[in-house]
């Protein structure tokens, strides 16, 4: 019995779809079906009930699923233990991060990591949603913002400092806000998607008091990079993380406004599950992120935009 067949069966059971499992494992539906039939013949039992719409586990399938998970975990631990002995992490590593952060910062870091550790097969999932950690079999989550209670280990990488900014053309045309109340007279570019809180802007007064403003504008998007492009083209004022806009501010293409009333900063955190045995590829990638991001992070060091240290 091949462990690859066990992995295929587990993915089908989790996704309730032969097509989705095949797509995840880069297999055609025909190959998925033939391998599952082969597995059932070897076991002498039916594991799945197949319909045109979905796949359900049989009672035998439910029982075999738990055994399959145990076997795959044991194999993974054995491979990881061998990797530890030769100090070379190996195996699949699935990482999820916000779309813009993944493209601008994590993708280059991931490439450098795999060059250092060629036995690691890294899959980067770019998503602004908080993925189902276990259902999607994600090893590491990178998130920017306050975290809800979680049973995962959280390690802070850096502080994500934010700014209000606009293009010089927009400010020349519409004027520069001097107080938070002035934002009500400007076209505010807002990030909106289910669960997003950035359509309401929270800023910090010089006294340390926080204020949350409900603002409006003629344009909003569920994609942070679209807001950056609109801001660059003079469409309005946006609240942006420095890791997105520091180069544009340095070049003068964007101008920070209301610097005395900065948006609330949030931690950049990497999360991974509690585990008695953490695979070396996960542990080493976390250490790699800590080494290459740090606080202050590189986008602030390079552009002279380092802010005062913020404690959480």
Segment 140-185, tens digit of pLDDT = 999 888 777 566 788 889 999 999 999 999 999 999 999 999 999 9
Quote the pLDDT of residue 196: 59
Tokens, residue 309: 């240290």
The Cα–Cα gap between 275 and 279 comes to 9
Distances (CA, A) of 91 to 114, 119, 131, 226: 11, 6, 21, 35
Say if CB 271 and CB 153 are below 8 A apart.
yes
Is the pLDDT reported for residue 77 higher than 50? yes
Name all domains of the chain by residue range, CATH numbers in brackets: 3-84 (1.10.10.10), 89-159+266-303 (3.40.190.10), 162-257 (3.40.190.290)
Distances (CA, A) of 147 to 137, 269, 270: 20, 9, 11
Is the pLDDT reported for residue 293 higher than 70? yes
Quote the pLDDT of residue 127: 81
Quote the pLDDT of residue 163: 96
pTM summary value? 0.66
Say if CB 237 and CB 171 are below 8 A apart.
no
Say if CB 93 and CB 122 are below 8 A apart.
yes
Segment 206-238, tens digit of pLDDT = 999 999 998 888 999 988 899 999 999 999 999
Quote the pLDDT of residue 199: 67
The Cα–Cα gap between 144 and 189 comes to 19
The Cα–Cα gap between 95 and 281 comes to 11
User: Can you list the pairs that 48-51 forms with residues at least 24 positions away whose Cβ atoms lie under 8 Å?
Assistant: 48/12, 48/13, 50/18
Is the pLDDT reported for residue 312 higher than 50? no
310 pLDDT band, cuts 50/70/90, is: very low
Angle CA 42–43–49, to nearest 5: 110
Is the pLDDT reported for residue 20 higher than 90? no
311 pLDDT band, cuts 50/70/90, is: very low
The Cα–Cα gap between 238 and 227 comes to 7
| Contacts of residue 151, Cβ cutoff 8 Å, sequence gap at least 6 | 273, 274
């Amino acid at each position: 019995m091949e462990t690859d067949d066990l992995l295929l069966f587990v993915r089908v059971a989790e996704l309730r779809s032969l097509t989705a499992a095949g797509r995840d494992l880069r297999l055609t539906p025909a190959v998925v079906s033939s391998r599952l039939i082969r597995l059932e013949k070897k076991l002498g039992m039916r594991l799945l009930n197949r319909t045109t719409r979905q796949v359900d586990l049989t009672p035998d399938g439910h029982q075999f699923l738990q055994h399959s998970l145990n076997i795959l975990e044991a194999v993974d631990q054995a491979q990881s233990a061998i990797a530890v002995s030769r100090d070379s992490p190996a195996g699949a590593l699935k990482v999820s991060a916000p779309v813009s952060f993944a493209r601008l910062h994590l993708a280059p870091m991931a490439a450098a990591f795999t060059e250092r550790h060629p036995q690691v097969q890294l899959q980067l999932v770019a998503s602004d949603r908080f993925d189902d950690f276990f259902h999607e079999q994600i090893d590491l989550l990178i998130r920017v913002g306050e975290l809800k209670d979680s049973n995962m280990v959280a390690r802070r990488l850096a502080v994500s400092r934010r700014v209000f900014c606009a293009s010089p053309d927009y400010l020349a045309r519409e004027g520069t806000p001097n107080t938070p109340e002035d934002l009500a007279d400007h076209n505010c570019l807002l990030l909106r998607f289910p669960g997003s809180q950035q359509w309401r802007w929270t800023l910090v007064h010089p006294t340390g008091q926080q204020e949350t403003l409900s603002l409006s504008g003629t344009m909003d998007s569920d994609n942070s990079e679209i807001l950056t492009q609109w801001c660059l083209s003079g469409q309005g004022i946006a609240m942006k993380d420095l890791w997105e806009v520091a180069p544009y501010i340095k070049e003068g293409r964007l101008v920070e406004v209301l610097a005395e009333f900065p948006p609330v900063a949030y931690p950049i955190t990497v999360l991974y599950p509690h585990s008695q045995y953490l695979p070396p590829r996960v542990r080493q990638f976390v250490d790699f992120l800590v080494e290459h991001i740090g606080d202050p992070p590189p986008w602030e060091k390079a552009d002279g935009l380092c802010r005062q240290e913020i404690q959480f």
